[in-house]
Amino acid sequence: MSNILHVGLNCIEPILDMPTTRSIPNKRWHLAFTAIYSSRALYSLVNQKKKSRKLPVPSNLSFVVLNVKPSAFSSNDHTTLTAIVNEKNFNKLLEFGGIEGVADALETCIKNGIDGSVNDVALRQEAFGSNTYQRAPAKRLFHFVVEAFKDLTILILIFCAALSLGFGIKENGAKEGWYDGGSIFVAVFLVISVSAVSNFRQNKQFEKLSKVSNNIKVDVVRNRRRQQIPIFEVVVGDVVCLKIGDQVPADGLFLDGHSLQVDESSMTGESDHVEINSHHNPFLFSGTKVADGYAQMLVTSVGMKTTWGVMMSTISQDTNEQTPLQARLNKLTSSIGKAGLAVAFLVLVALLVRYFTGNTEDENGNREFNGSNTKADDIVNSVVRIIAAAVTIVVVAIPEGLPLAVTLTLAYSMKRMMADQAMVRKLSACETMGSATTICTDKTGTLTLNQMKVTKFWLGQDPIEDSSLISTDLLNLIQQGVALNTTGSVYRATSGSNYEFSGSPTEKAILSWAVLELDMEMEILIKDFTILHVEAFNSEKKRSGVSIRSEADHNTVHVHWKGAAEMILAMCSSYYDASGRMKDMDDGERMKFEQIIQGMAASSLRCIAFAHKQIPEEEHEIRETSQKLEEDSLTLIGLVGIKDPCRPGVRKAVEDCQYAGVNVKMITGDNVFTARAIATECGILRPDQGINNEAVVEGEVFRNYTPEERIEKVDKIRVMARSSPLDKLLMVQCLKQKGHVVAVTGDGTNDAPALKEADIGLSMGIQGTEVAKECSDIIILDDNFASVATVLKWGRCVYNNIQKFIQFQLTVNVAALVINFVAAISAGEVPLTAVQLLWVNLIMDTLGALALATEQPTKELMERPPMGRTEPLITNIMWRNLGAQALYQIVVLLTLQFKGDSIFGVNEKVKDTLIFNTFVLCQVFNEFNARKLEKKNVFKGIRKNKLFLGIIGITIILQVVMVEFLKKFADTERLNWGQWGACLGIAAISWPLGWVVKCISVSKKPFLSYLRW
């Protein structure tokens, strides 16, 4: 007991050892906290004496401190703190000890963050919960089974199956009477099973994608080191770094930062941005977005204890998104269904008339209906059989495989696109991308590697190779401008270890250059200066500024600016030369600097300028009221050129898109010379397309065009430099007005309007902000333009696969409908029974969809022009192909129907089996024809598609089983080798027929232009 007490007292020592500089409220808060903790500790020690025998106290006291101290912050205290943050109660926060008091209670160092060890994080998760949300339970397989049962056709079939089963057992006994009804039940069961499992698997895939998309990376400071962790690993007490575009990962308090503006519309519905500061409103909420500025926050609540967590627990994600193609297919299905219903009704009437007029015979050649002599059971049974046949025609007529084919091809393509570094957030983007005519792409990180390095440095008008030649005063100014005007940071674990740089790629490049080449000591500079005001960088201003005061000189304020070279140059009236002397900048000197900037830009370098101004404290105090930094009469310190090499393979990807008829336009914030150099290197521009050509414009010039001029010139533009987000939005709007299907890439918060406006928004997975990702349809996980080209290829593949299946499915529908209708009207019987038609429906709808929907993209897809917005779903080429095949099948099968017994010398039962077998094998052979809509060689690349070959093999095996072994179930007779050969021979003719038909040219005008699916 004494050992435990000794440990407990050791745990309290850090709390008692308080600095004497604390304010009176803080002292009171800490004394009260210590008293409460001591009484709780003594009470718990007495109560847990038995537990201590089972769990011996480790000798490592630091571990014991971690194990005990979180319990000091009781659940009541945490509940109170959570309520204070939720209610934005600033006065109660002060009573609680202020932000510093909360940080102390949570064992967080405001500067260095939490300890961050495995034990520390585990204890915090145990005490305060993890940063995860309880979502509504996922839909189980049973839900999709129930949904499948809601199909009216399925319900009618079940009703008919029940009647058929009942009357069959009553008439023929349980041993043989269940065949007709039971076979319909089995077929219905298979259809429901396939449909439910397919939808269930798609739902599971959406859930996986949702988890990936929600796993945001968050910058935190732990044990002095800034690092990225998944959002789910954020714990109470963490110090989180926020910048423009970030999502706030948890509820918390503002610690430090500048110009922080937060978009709380997701919480409050108000579109106005809320200013966050430590004086009046330090409260930050999970799920909100940083609109401007940067900051550090202290996490006070995570997961279900946040306001966002409570909201999210009530929301269930609906993955039943219907894409435009699915909507068009539903209209097509509805139209075909109506036609099928009409045919089924005519067949029903014809069969009923023939039955009740005594024109039908049973298996023994006896008349089925003999007026009052016929038993009621026989009449009902015959009527049920006739109704079942009519309903089955409806089932075959309705191409239920179309929605399934869309689901399968979208699910398959989404999975493959994920492997190709593209995560689909909205299903409709898959198919829309196939119609894209223009891609507007960023430069940095998309066309380039985003691996930036400072390769050029100019002081005055001289390039500097050796930093030792720079004067001490000028070197100090450069180091101040880099270390204090940045959102990045530098970390070094020990004096001998490597530096770790964090921030944007540009910030990291400049910091690494200053630290490694200019010997900058960032921590010392931060201690020696006080930051007074910050103007954060954003893509509109293209610069950032800071005002600082030296701890050694309180009478002078230094203003530092950093940003796009030509913009900073315009703010300067003087410059420092290499020796550190200040010189006036006249027009001639300014022109020389402009030439230096253009020279670096022409070498594909991003040019950044540093400028400085020293102002008296009195003047700063006057300007402080306007919260604006000095922007004129600055002195240029120097210029740096940052190299960001083009990605390997990007030129080929651009050429592939252009070859496919898709225009690629580059929209960048860099100056016009850098933009032109990169665009030429990537193949977007030809070398002869200069700056004065209409192919290259600046954002401001484009913005100042009249609407008519923009519409006229937008097609000619290949590169837009120095563009703002508004310029990108204007270009997208102009392109859409001209009928283009536009895909846009974006990574910044300000890209959100353009991403939303575009037909397909593509955000960047690495550099993209959370705001950009939420506004996009597809996330490019590796930020690579080659992945954008891959998405284009997959989009076309999705559309093409659907068209293949439509052609295949409609051939089956047309042939089955015509054959049954003609036979029913003329002969009074249906050659294809209910079970046989359901079998055809099953294998053609499900296995056929699976075979054709999983074809991979081919080079041929990128050789054709994009599909327009108004192009019909069923093209003239498809009508030609399916019309020829359906006509061939109808002629052959009707010939077998009326002359088959005499041709083959077989009885009625064998003839019907021949018709059924030939019909199925025709579909198997036609499945090969459907692989290529235009190309004559339908076998090209078939060995690569193992799934297609496997499905063909399974279909043939199942057909053999149906014919040879399930005689009573399928109502078939065994066939001999000769008859099988005849069936195969008739079916195989569809291959040469398909080759001949593809030689026939068709007009471009839609065959059914008056129909709009």
Q: Return the active site residues.
A: 442
Question: Which residues, listed in sequence order, are joined to residue 664 by a DSSP beta bridge?
Answer: 439
Query: Which two tokens mark 93?
Result: 């926060």
Return the DSSP state at 368.
S
Q: Are 244 and 536 in contact (CB under 8 A)?
A: yes
CB atoms within 10 A of CB 1001: 8
- Going by DSSP bridges, is the β-strand pair 605-616/553-564 parallel, antiparallel, or unpaired? antiparallel
Alpha-carbon 731 to chain mean position = 24
Residue among 816, 824, 815, 818 at smallest CA distance from 347: 824
What whole-number distance in Å separates Cα of residue 855 and Cα of residue 945?
7
List Cα–Cα distances, 614 to 527, 618, 619, 630, in angstroms.
20, 12, 10, 10
Residue type at 324 in one-letter notation: P
Structure-token match 């003047």, residue found: 619
Residue type at 305 in one-letter notation: K
Q: Are 85 and 251 in contact (CB under 8 A)?
A: yes
- Max Cα separation, the chain? 123
Structure-token match 């928004």, residue found: 761
Secondary structure element (H or E) that encloses residue 208, with its range: helix 179-214
What whole-number distance in Å separates Cα of residue 195 and Cα of residue 404?
7
What crossing angle do the helices spanning 376-397 and 324-356 adopt, rounded to 10°? 150
DSSP states of 637-688: EEEEEEE-PBPTTHHHHHHHHHHTT-EEEEE-SS-HHHHHHHHHHHTSS-TT
Cβ neighbors of 898 (< 8 A, separation 6 or more) are 827
Angle, CA of 238, 243 and 249, to the nearest 5°: 40
Alpha-carbon 628 to chain mean position = 40
What whole-number distance in Å separates Cα of residue 377 and Cα of residue 362?
15
Residue among 953, 971, 950 at smallest CA distance from 962: 971
Question: Which residues, listed in sequence order, are joined to residue 548 by a DSSP beta bridge?
Answer: 531, 558
Cβ neighbors of 2 (< 8 A, separation 6 or more) are none
3-state class of 424 per DSSP?
strand
The dihedrals phi and psi of 616, each to the nearest 5 degrees, come to -65, 155
List Cα–Cα distances, 946 to 640, 798, 850, 928, 950, in angstroms.
55, 19, 12, 13, 6
Query: Which two tokens mark 459?
Result: 């002081």
Q: Are 541 and 464 in contact (CB under 8 A)?
A: no
